[in-house]
Homo-oligomer: A and B are copies of this chain.
Amino acid sequence: MLPAIAAPPQRLDQPDPLDHSFAQTYIRAYRWMLLARLTEEKLANLYRGGKVQGGVFLGKGQEAVSVAVGISLRRGDVFAPLIRDQAGRFAFGESILDCTRTYLGSRLGPMRGRDGNVHRGRPDEGMLPMISHLGAMIPVVAGTLLARKFRGQFGTVGATCIGDGGTSTGAFHEALNLAAVERLPLVVVVANNQYAYSTPNDRQFACRDLVDKAVGYGIEGHSVDGTSLADCLEVLGRAVDQARGGGGPQLVVASLLRLVGHGEHDDASYIDPALRNSSLGLDCLTLAEQHIVDSDWADGAALAAWKEDAQQQVEEAVATTTREPAPDPNEEDWCALASRHLRDGFVTE
């Protein structure tokens, strides 16, 4: 049988207004982005008020690409977010309490005060807790997929995010190469926000485009406009599908700008104003909201209600967390081993 003659594929940023499933996905993504943005704004406030333990690293401007990763994954997939992935975390299923509890030092958080903030995760639910060393999560995600391959388990995907700066690490290289050799369903998303802390791209790499690295690993490369939620949903969706379908590792490079400092201690004064004023400097959240309005997917009242709802979730989570106890060193067992009987009994404390 001949294949039916298909209509030319539609670009997702000009979607069929009747395509409810796309509109629904888009709105769902937008609402996670919104929740992430409001959560982070709250965290920034709390930080300035001295209420946060440790540093605060935010994802403002990176929500679209992050949420697109999280929303493209399914239960059973693996996700290793990095420091600017609050939106992706929510979309993948993280509860807002996991977030607030870690930042505000509640002992009920997933890391129990032992590790903090962006380092939280729940490996038993497929969300890996990052260590700080950039690039170091990529081989770990690859390993989860390798294990599944060994067991003949197919159809799941592992995704992880990294910055432009992180592509310079040996870990990035070794892990992508290993994943390529094993043709693992790994999606590596580079959020190219033009800077690594203060270091601009031209001091970080010399290739024309980071996506040019894909061919050197023999894997698929994708470029995406990180300010456009529609583009992010389409490209990440495609990359994740291809990985899931046996297409091997996928390298996705999103272009965007971080719209905050490296951390909340940083005023980002080093960012080139020309970049800020370029299309890279557009706010993906504002653009997404505009897109919803322009597409008539929701009216002002609905938007306000969503915002209200998100703000309420944030306030509730913070209020709950604030009433929770801090970790108590006397209740710590101070044993790094799972096999407690093998701890070295000699004490020099």
Contact = CB atoms under 8 A, between A and B. Distances in A.
Contacts of A204: 181
A247 interface: no
Interface string A51-70: 00000000000000000000
A180 to B, nearest CB: 4
A323 B202 CA distance: 57
Interface stretch (A25-33, A206-214, A278-286): A206-214
A174 B168 contact: yes
Contacts of A317: none
Contact of A205 (B172, B177, B183, B214): B177
Contacts of A178: 168
A212 B214 CA distance: 9
Interface of A: 168-174, 177-178, 180-181, 183, 202-208, 212-219, 248
21 contacts: A168-B174, A169-B170, A169-B174, A170-B174, A173-B173, A177-B206, A181-B202, A181-B203, A181-B204, A181-B206, A205-B218, A206-B217, A206-B218, A207-B215, A207-B216, A207-B218, A212-B215, A213-B216, A214-B216, A215-B215, A216-B216
